[in-house]
Chains A and B, each alone.
Chain A
């Protein structure tokens, strides 16, 4: 099956800890994205990557970090500097020169 996978589905973190959310795609898509969604809100862009070894900050990058060492993988680290990390995190990807983004199932992060 082709698609985008995110793991874990649910993640609990203690205050002060860094956590890494996984995003993998086997669609051979070039661009990958991380969004944050809070209750009743739309999606806000955290980071995106157009090609391997390159990424750009989105609207709310503070307290987050990413890497793009492989085309199919774009992990997101939520650092202790992120003051309010409890949210639903969505990963997406798309093919170059197309407009539609394809989304993973999401990871719900809760800070205890």
Chain B
């Protein structure tokens, strides 16, 4: 079953603008991760936020987590054409972190 659902499904912005993607999930979690996938390639881990954290930064990435609303957002600031990719959120379950459940992803297009 799909735990996370990203919103929007697709997003198109101009280079230099900020991009915000959202993820909602259904059950309690230990942590939430964001991954990036370039077309036809494997996924690359971007950032992990734990259930006791509310916000985390990594370079141009900012992730927030609201466990009361079971939602997270990924903000990419000052986007570049190279940020064009699909972005997925992944959640574990309270039972342990061996399994991750991925959402369907947000396809981001950054226009030069």
Q: Which residues of A contact B (CB under 8 A)?
A: 4, 31, 35, 40-45, 48, 50, 58-59, 88, 90, 92, 98-106, 108
- How many interface residues does chain B have, given as a range? 20 to 34
Contact across chains for A45 and B42 when beta carbons are under 8 A apart: no
Grouping DSSP codes into helix (H, G, I), strand (E, B) and loop, the B interface class, with mixed when no group exceeds half, is strand
**28 A–B contacts, CB within 8 A, in A order:** A4-B42, A35-B102, A42-B4, A42-B88, A42-B103, A42-B105, A43-B43, A43-B88, A44-B102, A45-B99, A45-B101, A48-B98, A50-B98, A58-B99, A88-B40, A90-B42, A90-B43, A92-B42, A98-B97, A99-B92, A100-B33, A101-B100, A102-B45, A103-B35, A103-B43, A103-B44, A105-B41, A106-B40
Contact across chains for A100 and B42 when beta carbons are under 8 A apart: no
A49 nearest CB across to chain B (Å): 10
B104 at the interface (CB under 8 A from A): yes
Q: Given known contacts A90-B43, A105-B42, is B104 in contact with A40 (CB within 8 Å)? A: yes
Q: Given known contacts A45-B99, A99-B33, A99-B48, is B104 in contact with A59 (CB within 8 Å)? A: no
Which of chain B's residues have a CB closer than 8 A to the CB of A35? Answer: 102
B2 at the interface (CB under 8 A from A): yes
Q: Which 10 residue pairs are nearest across A and B when measured between Cβ atoms?
A: A103-B42, A42-B102, A43-B102, A42-B104, A103-B43, A100-B45, A105-B42, A99-B97, A42-B103, A104-B42
Which of chain B's residues have a CB closer than 8 A to the CB of A31? Answer: 98
Complex CA distance for A4 and B42, rounded to whole angstroms: 10
Contact across chains for A108 and B33 when beta carbons are under 8 A apart: no
Complex CA distance for A48 and B45, rounded to whole angstroms: 19
Complex CA distance for A43 and B41, rounded to whole angstroms: 13
B58 at the interface (CB under 8 A from A): no
Complex CA distance for A40 and B33, rounded to whole angstroms: 19
